[in-house]
Amino acid sequence: MKFTHCGIQSATRCVKYLLRIKEEEAVVVAVVVLVVVVVVVVGVVVVVVVVVVVDVVVVVLVVVVVVVAVVVVVVVRQFKPNDNHLPVYSDKGEDEDGSADGCLRQPGNDLTQVRVGVAQPDPTMLQDVHRVAKHTRDQVRQSQA
């Protein structure tokens, strides 16, 4: 612990002197630099140990695990639903099943896909919109009168 504390103090003094910054900032920079140096040294040691000490069997096992992981990912993606295979609708106002409601009907499915693009308006919805617009217009006229 004393070694780490002394190392941080020494690094802080060096950073403060070299960069001419406040001590609080120098402490942060010194700690970051020390952590990076430790990580690099540990990484190099691990690589050397792996290259020198590890047996070929372990390397083969790692390769097998990676290959199995890739195969699992590929298989899972094959069975995942893909949105690129949705039915295509014409712009003539009709769907593939000949209806003009913007929905594709298939046996066993009432509604499988909503048409993207210009939808056919629902007459009752249009009546509701006109009724609300008329009501709003009447309220505005009453408030202005």
Three-class HEC string of the chain: CHHHHHHHHHHHHHHHHHHCCCHHHHHHHHHHHHHHHHHHHHHHHHHHHHHHHCCHHHHHHHHHHHHHHHHHHHHHHHHCCCHHHCCCCCCCCCCCCCCCCCECCECCECCCCECCCCCCCCHHHHHHHHHHHHHHHHHHHHHHC
Mean of all residue pLDDT scores within the chain: 70
Q: Say what the pLDDT of residue 27 is.
A: 77
The C-alpha atoms of residue 17 and residue 27 are separated, in whole angstroms, by 12
Q: What is the largest CA-CA distance in the chain?
A: 94
Q: Say what the pLDDT of residue 130 is.
A: 82
Band of pLDDT at residue 109, cut at 50, 70 and 90:
very low
Percent of the chain with pLDDT over 90: 0
Residue 118 has phi, psi (to 5 degrees) of -75, 115
* Distance from chain centroid for Cα 66: 23
**Span 74-103, average pLDDT:** 55
Q: What is the pLDDT of residues 20-48, one digit of tens each?
A: 777 777 777 777 878 888 888 888 888 77
The C-alpha atoms of residue 122 and residue 84 are separated, in whole angstroms, by 28
Q: Say what the pLDDT of residue 80 is.
A: 58
Band of pLDDT at residue 13, cut at 50, 70 and 90:
confident
pTM tops 0.95, yes or no: no
**Span 90-119, average pLDDT:** 50
Residue 131 has phi, psi (to 5 degrees) of -65, -45
**Span 68-75, average pLDDT:** 80
The C-alpha atoms of residue 39 and residue 34 are separated, in whole angstroms, by 9
